[in-house]
Amino acid sequence: MGPGGSRRPRNSQHATPATASAASRNGINGGDQKSKDPEHEFDIIAYRTTFWRTFFFYALSFGTCGIFRLFLHWKPKLHIQFRAKLCSVESADLVLVVDSHDRHQICRVFHRNRDQGTEHTVVANQDGSLTELEDLRWFNYRKLQYTWIDGEWSTPSRAYSHVTPGALLKGGAPLKEDDVALRRTYFGWNVMPVKLSPFYELLYKEVLSPFYIFQIISVTVWYIDDYVYYAALIIVMSLYSVVMTLKQTRSQQRRLQSMVVEHDEVEVIRENGRVMKMDSSEIVPGDILVIPPQGCMMYCDCVLLNGTVIVNESMLTGESIPITKVSLEGLSALADDGHEKIFSMEKHGKNIIFNGTRVLQTKYYKGQHVKALAIRTSYSTTKGQLIRAIMYPKPPDFKFFNELMKFVYVLAGVASIGFIYTSFILLYRGSSVLRMILRACDLVTIVVPPALPAVMGIGIFYAQRRLRQKSIYCISPSTINTCGAIDVVCFDKTGTLTEDGLDFYALRVVENAKIGENIVQIAQNETCQNVVRAIATCHTLSKINHELHGDPLDVIMFEQTGYSLEEDDSESHESIESVQPILIRPPKDSTLPDCQIVKQFTFSSGLQRQSVIVTDEDSMKAYCKGSPEMIMSLCKPETVPDNFHDIVEEYSQHGYRLIAVAEKELVVGSEVQKTPRQSIECDLTLIGLVALENRLKPVTTEVIQKLNEANIRSVMVTGDNLLTALSVARECGIIQSKKTAYLIEHETGVVDKKNRTILTIREKGEHHTQEKQAKSIDLSKMSNKDCQFAISGSTFSVVTHEYPELLDQLVCVCNVFARMAPEQKQLLVEHLQEVGQTVAMCGDGANDCAALKAAHAGISLSEAEASIAAPFTSKVGGVGGVGEESGTGSVNYF
Ligand SMILES: Nc1ncnc2c1ncn2[C@@H]1O[C@H](COP(=O)(O)OP(=O)(O)OP(=O)(O)O)[C@@H](O)[C@H]1O
């Protein structure tokens, strides 16, 4: 099997596209490769078997009744070194793949020549086109197919990996049937088969582990030695454990299968633009899909070519609020650095509809198709990557297993001494050889606990059952053991520690750089109509089945305005995005005209803002809302009140969530569709500040208290303001009442002699800053003096780049990390792990996904039971305390 998929049955298990292409590295005979993907970093070493090595391998395996083979089964590296020798990729028939956790796997290399045989040797180019190779070599590893192209191992995700957004738009032409057939030979069918392993196969894998082999030997020794009852008891326990483990593995596979093996009818434009209905398994990268107006499930990763769609990505992110995806149309061709933009899955997430997500609604001109270009199928999609991460998880917890193995080695050392001593004594006393061996082995089996795997297996099984009863679903049972060793739990704030919903508190209008008083009732209040209009239009809400859907923050703000939202059906409106404009109507008795949202720039955590372009009868305006710091930086300084910063601090200190609103007048009829986002979101005029209340969840304080009692450190890592975060942290007990909170800060441009930005520490509440040279900051000492620390993302970034030597200390003593971008959340988790901490991360949103994945134990709070964002998914919607005795007997809380 391999890239010969055109003749392959539809549901065959075919290696599918991957995320990374393996880059060439000068290695042993040119056969040593290293993958670029940091997450799945691995070496690929080429080998060729020889006749004599194979002969000796079989001879020794038979000659030792399989013991030699069993030994090599545990040691794949020795196995391949014994059977084959290093060679170049061109002559290899085996490769040894070594992953970043030093796990080895031997894979067979397949080979096909263009002139031999009937099947094609096509591969994909980086721009998505196909090319035919003279000689095709590939191997399958963890559901992906690696093909030797241009001196490197590449996966099918190589297609569209180096292409401009403009080329993607232009390249979106219907595929011909011949082309489809050729593409299928390389990409395979768009399915993710999860095989239910037969019982005997699972049993074989389980029983061949060194522990079980040792157990078999132990039981045999005891049986011969007349410990019949004890031996029988251990057999019964082990059988029970094996059956439970197998049952668990099978139900795990079934669960995964139900999440993965989904397919349905889709509409694809093929051959001369005909819309054809077909099964989703027939989609190949390059196909153009038609997305129905009423929505559908997505079965591949695709780029939106026109219109706008609203999707629910909860399956991938755990976050169930609808997200708006926009088309590539109108995207500027040049990046910030002036170079041509290159399309990437990371940077253009807002233009990609991912496999496994549900399209709730599409928006475009009536009667026109919303089209999307399939770029990745089956296991190379984002969903495929997550599924692979579940199928081939990281080794549970290195520290835990290393220590467990150390414990076993110490016991084995003690046993060996006993073995030698007993053998010597018995020999000296003239005992028979059989009795001597029996006694000595008996000693070993008593010292090293043979029932250890059985006990752990049973423990995990019951722990998982208990979690399920509490609506916590676990897709990676081995992680349960890790939870017994958690040192730090990182919590996202909004939606995790605090309620998802917010309460509107007040609006303060800014006019002529003066800030007004609190306005609590904003609808129809004459004094704030301009800001109300901005709030009513600046969002990405949509109406699905007559209900407003979107970010809870947007919903709550919109509902205060008294405005209503309608999709504009009239033919006359010229929309900038060639999307049906959204009509915003003021309250009935208002004299203000209706207005249309003609362009939306979606919210992103990294940008901390969101904006829209709105037109009414005779004007065109851009409205922008976001975090006060961000909006202030985009506003003309003369429009920002002098005391604005102080006012923001005051609200933040009381835990309010703040959103600043700004506007900009645009010239009617100007070509704003071609204007990049950064040209719209600049030189703004500040017009208002909205304060929202964000209450703690009832269970939060109790959970933090339990963690404190268990000596597990709680850390808040949030995208919100530092002072707001600090106030919430104080309220829930992350910052303890008897401790003083210190803020670690910096001032941009203020540098020391070494040209490093000066870090300052100030006590929360003090307005003066007590400057200290970075060197004199000894955070670890200060933490002993009843201090706790908080830092914001920008200072964290300064420390990361300019004071890497402080980072270890910082992550160990800081309890609040605010204004953290998604990648900083991940960096924090990774750094905590680097300093030897076992980390759990608890989050609810798309901005927590990377951190959830990086943590030893990720806990996603999600409505979606089947979220694959983290090993644990809690449906209870809170950080409900879970006292759970895992297989290790520890009590865990999360
Ligand atoms: N829909 C929105 N429109 C405009 N600005 C927003 C919106 N949602 C949040 N913001 C602003 O962007 C900031 C960062 O948001 P982000 O979602 O990264 O974190 P968060 O929701 O504040 O906190 P957490 O990381 O704890 O969930 C927020 O503090 C807020 O000021």
Query: Which has the higher per-residue pLDDT, 554 or 21?
Result: 554
Tell me the average pLDDT across 107-130.
Answer: 83
Q: For residue 656, how far is its CA from the centre of ligand 1 (angstroms)?
A: 12
The residue with tokens 């007990």 is: 733
For the Cβ of 718 lying below 6 angstroms from any atom of ligand 1, the answer is yes
pLDDT(341) > 80? no
Local confidence band at 399 (pLDDT 50, 70, 90 cut-offs): low
The Å distance, Cα 825 to ligand 1 centre, comes to: 14
CB distance 623 to ligand 1 below 6 Å? no
For the chain, report the end-to-end CA distance as a whole number of angstroms: 45
**Predicted pLDDT of residue 129:** 86
What does the pLDDT look like over 540-578, one tens digit per residue?
888 777 778 888 889 999 999 989 888 655 544 444 444
Identify whether the C-beta of residue 355 lies closer than 8 Å to the C-beta of residue 298. Answer: yes
Average pLDDT, the chain: 80
* 466: pLDDT strictly greater than 80: yes
Q: Which residue has the higher pLDDT, 851 or 845?
A: 851
Kindly give, in sequence order, each residue whose CB lies less than 8 Å from that of residue 170, ignoring residues fewer than 6 positions away: none
Q: What is the pLDDT of residue 528?
A: 84
Nearest of 460, 475, 474, 467 to residue 887 by alpha carbon: 460
User: Which tens digits make up the pLDDT trace of 730-777?
Assistant: 999 999 888 888 888 888 777 777 788 888 888 765 444 444 444 455
- Of the residues 720, 829, 847, 849, which should be mutated to test ligand 1's pocket, given the most ligand atoms within 8 Å of the CB? 720
Q: How confident is the model at residue 407 (pLDDT cuts 50, 70, 90)?
A: confident
Other C-beta atoms lying within 10 Å of the C-beta of residue 49 = 16
Closest CA to 857 of 546, 494, 529, 483: 483
Beta strands of 461-563 (E only): which ranges? Answer: 472-474, 488-491, 503-511, 514-519, 542-544, 547-549
What string of DSSP letters covers 272-288? Answer: TTEEEEEEGGG--TT-E
Ligand 1 contact, 817 CB (< 6 A): no
What pLDDT does residue 308 have? Answer: 83
| Angle value at C-alpha 872, between 870 and 877, nearest 5 degrees | 105
Which of the two residues, 866 and 823, has the higher pLDDT score? 823
For residue 281, the Cα-to-chain-centroid distance in whole angstroms is 25
Q: Can you tell me the distance from the alpha carbon of 866 to that of 845, in angstroms, rounded to the nearest whole number?
A: 15
Confirm or reject: Cβ of 659 under 6 Å from ligand 1.
yes
Q: Is the CB of 605 under 6 A from ligand 1?
A: yes
| DSSP one-letter code for 495 | I
Q: What is the pLDDT of residue 33?
A: 47
What one-letter code names the amino acid at 20?
A: A
Give me the phi and psi of 29, to 5 degrees please: 50, 30
Between the CA of 721 and the centroid of ligand 1 the distance, in Å, is: 9
DSSP label at residue 409: H
Residue 367 has what pLDDT? 64
Q: Out of 659, 694, 792, give the residue to mutate to test ligand 1, the one with the largest number of ligand atoms within 8 Å of its CB.
A: 659
Res. 516: pLDDT tops 80: yes
Residue 567 is predicted with a pLDDT of: 67
C-alpha of residue 176 to centroid of ligand 1, in Å? 45
Q: Which residues contact 406 (CB under 8 A, 6 or more apart)?
A: none
pLDDT at 37 over 50: no
Q: In this structure, are residues 863 and 875 in contact, taking their beta carbons and an 8 Å threshold? A: yes
Q: Is 179 a catalytic residue?
A: no
- Give the distance from CA 814 to its chain's centroid: 24
pLDDT at 642 over 70: yes
Rounded Cα distance, 457 and 239, in Å: 11
At 446 the pLDDT is 74
Of all residues in the chain, the percent with pLDDT exceeding 90 is 22
Specify the pLDDT at position 335. 59
Contact 201, 250 (CB under 8 A): no
Dihedral sign for Cα 285, 288, 290, 295, please. Answer: positive
- pLDDT at residue 624 above 90? yes
d(Cα 277, Cα 270) in Å, to the nearest integer? 10
Q: Look at residue 138 and tell me whether its pLDDT is greater than 80.
A: yes
Q: Enter the tokens of residue 662.
A: 């700004």
Report the atom number in ligand 1 closest to the C-alpha of 540.
1
Q: Is 720 in the pocket of ligand 1 (CB under 6 A)?
A: yes
Ligand 1 atom nearest to 725, measured from its CA = 26
Q: Is the CB of 586 under 6 A from ligand 1?
A: no
pLDDT of 4 strictly over 50: no
Q: Which of residues 478 and 687 earns the better pLDDT score? A: 687
Proportion of the chain above pLDDT 70, given as a percent? 84
Place of tokens 């910096």: 746
| pLDDT on residue 396 | 65
Nearest CA to 851 out of 496, 375, 607, 398 is that of: 496
506-510, 545-549, 841-845 — most confident range: 506-510
Q: Does ligand 1 lie within 6 Å of residue 809's CB atom?
A: no
Q: Is the pLDDT of residue 8 over 50?
A: no
The CA distance from 8 to 187, in Å, is 12
Q: What is the best residue among 538, 608, 677, 732 to mutate for testing ligand 1's pocket, by most ligand atoms within 8 Å of CB? A: 608
The bridge status of strand 308-312 relative to strand 857-861 is unpaired
Residue 867 has pLDDT above 90, yes or no: no
In this prediction, residue 607 has a pLDDT band, given cuts at 50, 70 and 90, of confident
- The Å distance, Cα 727 to ligand 1 centre, comes to 16
Q: What is the mean pLDDT of residues 278-286?
A: 92
What is the pLDDT confidence band of residue 1, given thresholds at 50, 70 and 90? Answer: very low
| Cα 815 to ligand 1 centroid, rounded to whole Å | 20
- Which residue's CA is the closest to the ligand 1 atom numbered 4? 626
Q: Ligand 1, atom 27: nearest CA belongs to which residue? A: 494
Q: In the predicted model, is pLDDT for residue 640 greater than 90? A: yes
Distance CA 364, CA 343 (A): 23
Q: Is the pLDDT of residue 137 over 70?
A: yes
pLDDT band at 488 (very low <50, low <70, confident <90, very high): very high
**Which of ligand 1's atoms lies nearest the C-alpha of 492?**
26
Nearest CA to ligand 1 atom 29: 720
In testing the pocket of ligand 1, which one of 605, 700, 820, 826 has its CB within 8 Å of the most ligand atoms?
605
Atom of ligand 1 nearest to the CA of 493: 26
Q: How confident is the model at residue 639 (pLDDT cuts 50, 70, 90)?
A: very high
Ligand 1 atom closest to residue 627's alpha carbon, by position in its atom list:
31
Residue 658 CA, closest ligand 1 atom number: 31
The answer, yes or no, to whether any atom of ligand 1 lies below 6 A from the CB of 627, is yes
Which 3 state secondary structure label does DSSP give 168? helix
Give the per-residue pLDDT at 94: 93
Query: Quick check: CB of 554 below 6 Å from ligand 1?
Result: yes
**pLDDT of 880 strictly over 60:** no
Name the amino acid, one letter, at 163. Answer: V
pLDDT at 279: 92
- Residue 102: which pLDDT band, with cuts at 50, 70 and 90? confident
Residue 725's pLDDT band, with cuts at 50, 70 and 90, is very high
Maximum mean pLDDT: which of 424-438, 517-531, 815-829: 815-829
Burial group, residue 653, by CB count within 10 angstroms (0-12, 13-18, 19+):
middle
207-245 per-position pLDDT tens digit? 777 777 878 888 888 888 788 888 888 888 888 888 887
Residue 864 pLDDT level (bands cut at 50, 70, 90) = low
Q: What is the DSSP letter of 720?
A: S
pLDDT category at 890 given cuts 50, 70, 90 is very low
From the list 716, 752, 756, 709, the residue with the least C-alpha distance to 735 is: 716
The torsion defined by the Cα of 718, 722, 723 and 728, in degrees rounded to 10, comes to 20
Residue 117's pLDDT band (cuts 50, 70, 90) = low
The bridge status of strand 713-717 relative to strand 814-818 is parallel
Across the chain, how many H-helices and E-strands are there? 26, 46
Which residue has a Cα nearest atom 13 of ligand 1? 608
Q: Nearest residue CA, atom 19 of ligand 1?
A: 719
Active site residue: 397, 492, 568, 848, which one? 492
Confidence check: pLDDT of 538 > 90: yes
Q: Is the CB of 492 under 6 A from ligand 1?
A: yes
- Can you tell me the distance from the alpha carbon of 261 to that of 146, in angstroms, rounded to the nearest whole number? 23
- Say if ligand 1 is within 6 A of residue 844 CB: no
Strand-pair partners of 289: 268, 372
Our mutation pick for probing the ligand 1 site, out of 494, 549, 557, 633, counting the most ligand atoms within 8 A of Cβ, is 494
Q: What is the pLDDT of residue 24?
A: 33
What is the pLDDT, as a whole number, of residue 306?
84
Specify the pLDDT at position 11: 28
